[in-house]
């Protein structure tokens, strides 16, 4: 019986190890994938490691992560240890109160702590960036150090320090030579926990940073919003670094003990040198990668602050622009136009924004954009006629297109017929043939566009009765069809044919079709959203001259091609469009890459504040209904 229990225990332990480590192994394998897919291995390549090492953003994130982790560990360990020793000599009531205060951050949800730090920095008008992230990390690491040190202090003889001083030691000597050696295991445990917590943190870091400062957690979060295999490469690098650190801490003491002829040598003697050595290595690599000047270039030493969608730039754009101008590009990413608007409306300064059409209209109405200096913009003649002179900026006085496209239906041609799509249009999302086999996109604008178009209305309607009817259409969809409401995860999922059909942006459909020949893209005859994302310069931009240079650079053939071929969205540059969609081009025969133009029922979104609020409230109710139905 005991033997059977032991066997069962071994099997269970093996399964648990597989459960925990198989995803890491999977990630490491796909970091060497030739293609962009995160699920289909197409061949061995170091492409994504090369991209990682060439990316200033990734290397700076690596530097930020480890430099902050080391500094936060050292400072929090010193402060936490001194605080714990001081509390051990305090009155009981003070100790009990401080114990509760110390435990509060440990039990508090991270999001609450993060918002608290953010409000603190805003209240005292502290500019968010590296310093605020470091201060926040020190603050949340201190309680973990104290929690590790306090039990060791309680186990000491309370008269130990007094005895040392009776024998002639000074208070400082009693602390350093008597107390600290006795509590060293607790100190190093606290330091290791602090280091781990700092390396691992995302939520607090996300809320307290600014000015383009990102650690690896924020970088990985940004990269995970779209298909980017570099996420596997940078994650693998972190796994290798942490594994090396653990080997040094656990194996080196054993080797040293054998050489010294001792039974044991404390891990603490290896911990600090190991962490310091790895930190120096990582920081050194990063400094070699992006340190130093670039020579006598026109914008040497200047910085351009760009606020763009996540994973919306090609592989060469940023490094080549920096090399050509001598400037440094700090790019922050947003997930939605509304998130971008909040930061800009609160006064955060950027040189370039890349909002969508309706948001540009809003920014113009609120006088938050400056006119472009047309004498400095020489790229307009290269742009396609279909994407210039759009309603939100008919003279292109304020904006230059970055990407454009439409919204349509991506479908599995082995499951869905083109005839059904032509007959039903967007109403195919109510066809119970595909119940439980559809994706809806988590976008209030595009979901209501679909419903309004299916009902024969304009997607820019301000009629509340029509909007209510569209809401009921969507409620019927989520309650009867059991859709999965997703964002960018639809890309890889549909590339693998996991559902029959889904609502999608044309650029994402382009990638899916290039990965899977069984996938198709259809734009319903009821009309759809013809959208445009464009580059604009805010009124509070600090470097508009460099911003104009960036706009021209992005719009030039080479870098418009780099952008479009990498991301998959349609380039506004006519020559790039023709090349990629033409014979031998990356997207030859892929209709999703070429937006439908000149069709009278296709519309560009307009901004109406009251309508936006109503749609936002109704979409929240739709998602609640979908959750309840699921």
58-72, 160-174, 613-627: segment of lowest average pLDDT: 160-174
Q: What pLDDT, on the 0 to 100 scale, is given for residue 22?
A: 87
51-287 and 404-532+587-629 share one fold: no
> Mean pLDDT over residues 177-186, rounded?
87
Contact 565/465 with Cβ under 8 angstroms?
A: no
Q: What pLDDT, on the 0 to 100 scale, is given for residue 330?
A: 87
Q: 471: closest CA among 441, 446, 451?
A: 451
Contact 413/519 with Cβ under 8 angstroms?
A: yes
For the cut 90, the answer to whether the pLDDT of residue 599 exceeds it is: yes
Side-chain half-sphere CA neighbours of 318 within 13 A:
23
For the cut 90, the answer to whether the pLDDT of residue 19 exceeds it is: no
pTM score of the predicted model:
0.78
For the cut 90, the answer to whether the pLDDT of residue 8 exceeds it is: no
Residue 383 DSSP code: B
| DSSP 3-state of 248 | helix
Q: 468: closest CA among 451, 453, 485?
A: 451
Query: Between 444-454 and 609-629, two packed helices, what is the crossing angle to 10 degrees?
Result: 90
For the cut 60, the answer to whether the pLDDT of residue 116 exceeds it is: yes
For the cut 80, the answer to whether the pLDDT of residue 258 exceeds it is: no
4-13, 126-135, 138-147: segment of lowest average pLDDT: 4-13
Q: How far is CA 515 from CA 203, 512, 562, 567, in A?
A: 34, 5, 19, 13
CB atoms within 10 A of CB 285: 15
Contact 387/341 with Cβ under 8 angstroms?
A: no
Q: DSSP of 29-67, one letter per residue?
A: HHTTBSSS-SS----B--HHHHHHHH-HHHHHHHHHHHH
**SS3 of 106-129:** HHCCHHHHHHHHHHHHHHCCCCCC
Angstrom distance (rounded) from CA 553 to CA 389: 21
Work out the pLDDT band at 355, boundaries 50, 70, 90.
Answer: very high
Residue matched to tokens 């653990």: 246
Who has greater pLDDT, 100 or 375? 375
Angle at 79 between CA 248 and CA 218, to 5 degrees: 60
Q: Can you list the positions of beta strands (E) in 281-398?
A: 303-309, 328-334, 352-353
Question: Domains of the chain: which residue ranges?
Answer: 2-30, 51-287, 303-402+533-581, 404-532+587-629
Q: What pLDDT, on the 0 to 100 scale, is given for residue 436?
A: 93
Q: What pLDDT, on the 0 to 100 scale, is given for residue 269?
A: 56
Q: What pLDDT, on the 0 to 100 scale, is given for residue 388?
A: 93
Q: Is the dihedral of CA 249, 252, 258, 261 positive or negative?
A: negative
Query: Between 317-325 and 557-567, two packed helices, what is the crossing angle to 10 degrees?
Result: 160
Who has greater pLDDT, 238 or 534? 534
Angstrom distance (rounded) from CA 253 to CA 273: 12
* 404-532+587-629 topology per CATH: D-Maltodextrin-Binding Protein; domain 2 (3.40.190)
Mean pLDDT for all residues in the chain: 87
Q: What pLDDT, on the 0 to 100 scale, is given for residue 507?
A: 92
H/E element holding 357?
Answer: helix 357-365
CATH of 303-402+533-581, one of 3.40.50.300, 3.30.1330.10, 3.20.20.70, 3.40.190.10: 3.40.190.10
Q: What pLDDT, on the 0 to 100 scale, is given for residue 307?
A: 94
Q: What pLDDT, on the 0 to 100 scale, is given for residue 11?
A: 84
Work out the pLDDT band at 434, boundaries 50, 70, 90.
Answer: very high
Work out the pLDDT band at 277, boundaries 50, 70, 90.
Answer: low
Work out the pLDDT band at 292, boundaries 50, 70, 90.
Answer: low
Angstrom distance (rounded) from CA 619 to CA 467: 11
Work out the pLDDT band at 51, boundaries 50, 70, 90.
Answer: confident
pLDDT in tens, 582-597: 998 989 999 999 989 8
H/E element holding 312?
Answer: none
Q: What is the CATH number of domain 51-287?
A: 1.10.3720.10
- Token couple for 528: 């759809």
- Most confident of the following: 152-156, 175-179, 442-446, 447-451: 447-451
């Amino acid at each position: 019986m005991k033997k059977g229990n032991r066997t069962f225990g071994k099997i269970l332990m093996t399964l648990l190890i597989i459960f925990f480590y198989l995803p890491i192994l999977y990630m490491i394998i796909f970091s060497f994938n030739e293609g962009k897919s995160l699920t289909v291995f197409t061949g061995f390549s170091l492409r994504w490691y090369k991209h990682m090492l060439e990316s200033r953003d990734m290397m700076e994130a690596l530097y930020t992560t480890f430099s902050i982790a080391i500094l936060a560990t050292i400072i929090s360990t010193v402060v936490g240890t001194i605080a714990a020793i001081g509390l051990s000599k305090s009155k009981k009531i003070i100790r009990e109160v401080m114990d509760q205060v110390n435990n509060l951050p440990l039990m508090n949800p991270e999001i609450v702590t993060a918002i608290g730090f953010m409000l603190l920095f805003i209240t005292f008008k502290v500019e968010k960036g590296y310093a605020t992230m470091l201060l926040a990390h020190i603050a949340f690491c201190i309680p973990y150090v104290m929690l590790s040190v306090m039990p060791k202090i309680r186990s000491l003889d309370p008269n130990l320090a007094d005895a040392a001083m009776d024998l002639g030691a000074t208070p400082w000597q009693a602390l350093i030579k008597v107390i600290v050696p006795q509590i060293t295991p607790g100190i190093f445990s606290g330091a290791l926990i602090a280091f781990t917590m700092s390396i691992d943190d995302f939520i607090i870091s996300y809320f307290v940073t600014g000015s383009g400062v990102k650690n690896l957690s924020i970088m990985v979060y940004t990269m995970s919003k779209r298909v980017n295999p570099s996420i596997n490469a940078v994650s693998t690098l972190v796994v290798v670094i942490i594994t090396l650190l653990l080997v040094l801490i656990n194996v080196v003491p054993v080797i040293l003990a054998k050489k010294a002829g001792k039974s044991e040598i404390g891990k603490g003697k290896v911990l600090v040198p190991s962490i310091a050595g790895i930190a120096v290595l990582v920081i050194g690599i990063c400094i070699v990668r992006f340190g130093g000047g670039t020579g006598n270039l026109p914008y040497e030493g200047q910085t351009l602050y760009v606020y763009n969608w996540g994973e919306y730039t090609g592989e060469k754009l940023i490094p080549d622009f920096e090399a050509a101008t001598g400037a440094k590009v700090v790019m922050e990413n947003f997930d939605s136009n509304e998130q971008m608007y909040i930061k800009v409306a609160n006064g955060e300064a950027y040189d370039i924004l890349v909002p969508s059409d309706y948001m540009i209209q809003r920014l113009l109405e609120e006088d938050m954009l400056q006119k472009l200096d047309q004498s400095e913009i020489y790229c307009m003649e290269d742009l396609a006629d279909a994407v210039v002179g759009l309603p939100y900026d008919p003279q292109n006085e304020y904006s230059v297109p970055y990407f454009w496209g439409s919204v349509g239906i991506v479908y599995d041609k082995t499951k869905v017929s083109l005839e059904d799509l032509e007959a039903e249009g967007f109403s195919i999302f109510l066809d119970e043939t595909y119940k439980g086999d559809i994706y809806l996109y988590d976008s209030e604008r595009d979901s209501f566009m679909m419903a309004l178009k299916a009902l024969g209305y304009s997607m820019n309607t301000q009629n509340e009765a029509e909007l209510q009817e569209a809401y009921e259409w969507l409620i019927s969809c989520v309650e009867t069809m059991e859709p999965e409401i997703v964002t960018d995860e639809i890309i890889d999922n549909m590339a693998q044919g996991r559902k029959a059909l889904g609502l999608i942006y044309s650029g994402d459909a382009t990638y899916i079709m290039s990965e899977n020949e069984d996938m198709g893209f259809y734009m319903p005859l009821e009309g759809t959203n013809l959208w445009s994302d464009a580059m604009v310069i805010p009124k509070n931009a600090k470097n508009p001259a460099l911003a104009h240079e960036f706009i021209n650079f992005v719009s030039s053939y080479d870098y418009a091609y780099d952008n479009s071929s990498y991301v998959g969205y349609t380039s506004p540059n006519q020559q790039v469009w023709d090349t990629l969609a033409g014979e031998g081009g990356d997207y030859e025969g892929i209709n999703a890459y070429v937006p439908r133009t000149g069709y009278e029922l296709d519309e560009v979104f307009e901004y109406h504040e009251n309508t936006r609020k109503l749609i936002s409230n109704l979409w929240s109710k739709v998602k609640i209904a979908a959750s309840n139905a699921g």
